[in-house]
């Protein structure tokens, strides 16, 4: 059987590297990658040339401008425009190169701030968005519509996956710009090393988040890539929004997860909540029934995932 050529865009990021790990030894796939330095997806002509030359059978679109709550709040123009530009270039090039299948990565923040929980795919565009990440969410919603419009107009099979908050090996551990878990892993670790008496946790500690270990997302992407054609086609039928949630099905408060990170790192001091920092959306627990009905479920428990993530942090940053 001929191998399926898959372009993993953003293969060195948190999600892209987990996707690479899941695909690596699969005999049915030939993987194509380009680093950001080799191919800037904001460069329209270069993106087009790459797609026309390589004509992959499938694209896994993990390349994006990504960051935590503060990065999103401070750089709204970049989070909107960079993501829109990358997406327009990739979707247009994919159309010209007649790419039939794509998995586009969105995020659970595309759903309305106040929507019922757990969040079903059909709640998209039923209410106002959370202000701290509205520009990013709007870019991602445009990506969902690009998938759907292309499926309707050109008969493609483009699917948008909406993952919950991710963490795992190779995460961004920047103290200001990263997501909550890598930031807390680093802050608790540094507090342990310096014997600091307390660690700052942003916001009130009351928001709830659902956290998924990145290798589980790699596994879910692999599962969808390997679905038989007719089952993948059912998810991308032009009459249905091509949207599928991916998460673990349960959430915790930020205070609870901070306590878990503290225990994982082995820090003995106190937590101090910084109310000057934004809480963001109060809750965004995904309904993962659609993916479960296909036969996929996340495997990694939060405590075990945090342990692996901390070990990875130690290896990369604290040697």
Binding residues for NADP(+): 10-16, 105-108, 140, 179
Helical H segments across the chain, by residue range: 14-23, 44-54, 69-74, 76-96, 134-154, 180-194, 214-225, 229-235, 254-265, 289-294, 302-317
Residues 25-54 that bind ligand F7E (CB under 6 A): none
- For position 78 contacting ligand NDP by CB under 6 A, the verdict is no
- Least separation in angstroms between CB 58 and ligand F7E: 24
Catalytic site residues?
136
The reply to whether 94 sits near ligand NDP by the rule CB under 6 A is no
Residue closer to ligand F7E, measured from CB, 51 or 173 = 173
| 125 to 154: interface string for ligand F7E, x by CB under 6 A | --------x--x------------------
Is 280 a residue that touches ligand NDP (CB under 6 A)? no
Q: Which residues contact 30 (CB under 8 A, 6 or more apart)?
A: 3, 4, 5, 6
* Contact status: 14 vs ligand NDP (CB under 6 A): yes
Residue from 51, 202, 267, 310 that binds ligand F7E (CB under 6 A)?
202
40 forms part of the interface with ligand NDP (CB under 6 A): yes
The strand pairing partners of 102, in sequence order, are 59, 158
Q: Which stretch binds ligand F7E (CB under 6 A): 48-56, 91-99, 198-206, 298-306?
A: 198-206
Under the binding rule (CB under 6 A), the answer on residue 224 touching ligand NDP is no
Burial class (CB in 10 A: 0-12, 13-18, 19+), 98: exposed
Long-range residue pairs from 289-292, CB within 8 A, at least 24 positions apart, any chain: 289/120, 290/121, 290/244, 290/245, 291/220, 291/244, 291/245, 291/246
- Between the alpha carbon of residue 56 and those of residues 29, 59, 292, the distances in Å are 11, 7, 28
By beta-carbon proximity to ligand F7E, the closer residue of 99 and 306 is 306
Contact assessment for residue 220 and residue 291, using Cβ atoms and an 8 Å cutoff: yes
Does residue 306 bind ligand NDP (CB under 6 A)? no
DSSP string, 249-276: S--EEHHHHHHHHHHHHT--SEEEEETT
Q: DSSP label at 66? A: -
Residue 207 lies near ligand F7E (rule: CB under 6 A): yes
The listed partner (ligand F7E, ligand NDP, none) that binds 224, CB under 5 to 8 Å by sort, is: none
The dihedral built from the CA positions of residue 186, 245, 129 and 253, taken in this order, carries a sign that is negative
62 binds ligand NDP (CB under 6 A): yes
Kindly list the residues in this chain that would bind ligand F7E in the complex (CB under 6 A). Answer: 67-70, 72, 107, 109, 133, 136, 165, 178-180, 183-184, 201-203, 207, 209, 254, 277-280
Residues that bind ligand NDP (CB under 6 A): 10, 12-16, 36, 40-42, 62-66, 86, 105, 107, 163, 165-166, 172, 179
């Amino acid at each position: 059987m001929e191998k399926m050529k898959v372009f993993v865009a953003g293969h060195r990021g948190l999600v892209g590297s987990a996707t690479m790990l899941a695909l690596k030894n699969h005999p049915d796939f030939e993987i194509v990658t380009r680093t950001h330095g080799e191919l800037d997806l904001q460069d329209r002509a270069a993106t087009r040339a790459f797609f026309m030359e390589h004509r992959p059978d499938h694209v896994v679109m993990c390349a994006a401008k990504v960051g935590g709550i503060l990065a999103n709040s401070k750089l709204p123009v970049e989070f909107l425009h960079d993501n829109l530009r990358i997406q327009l270039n990739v979707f247009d090039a994919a159309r010209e190169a007649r790419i039939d299948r794509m998995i586009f990565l969105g995020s659970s923040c595309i759903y309305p701030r106040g929507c019922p929980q757990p969040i079903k795919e059909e709640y998209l565009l039923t209410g106002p968005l959370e202000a701290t990440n509205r520009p990013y969410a709007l870019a991602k919603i445009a990506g969902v519509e690009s998938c759907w419009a292309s499926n309707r107009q050109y008969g493609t099979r483009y699917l948008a996956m909406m993952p919950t908050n991710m963490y795992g090996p190779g995460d961004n551990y920047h103290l200001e710009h990263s997501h909550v878990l890598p930031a807390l892993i680093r802050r608790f670790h540094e507090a342990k090393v310096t014997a600091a008496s307390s660690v700052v946790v942003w916001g009130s500690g009351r928001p709830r988040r659902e956290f998924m270990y990145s290798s589980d997302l790699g596994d879910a992407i692999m599962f969808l890539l390997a679905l038989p054609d007719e089952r993948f086609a059912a998810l991308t039928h032009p009459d249905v929004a091509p949207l599928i949630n991916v998460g673990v099905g349960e959430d915790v408060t930020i205070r609870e997860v901070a306590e878990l990170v503290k225990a994982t790192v082995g820090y003995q001091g106190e937590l101090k909540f910084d109310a000057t920092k934004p809480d963001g959306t109060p809750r965004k627990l995904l309904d993962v029934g659609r993916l479960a009905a296909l036969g996929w479920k996340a495997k990694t428990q939060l405590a075990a995932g945090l342990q692996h993530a901390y070990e990875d942090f130690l290896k990369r940053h604290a040697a």
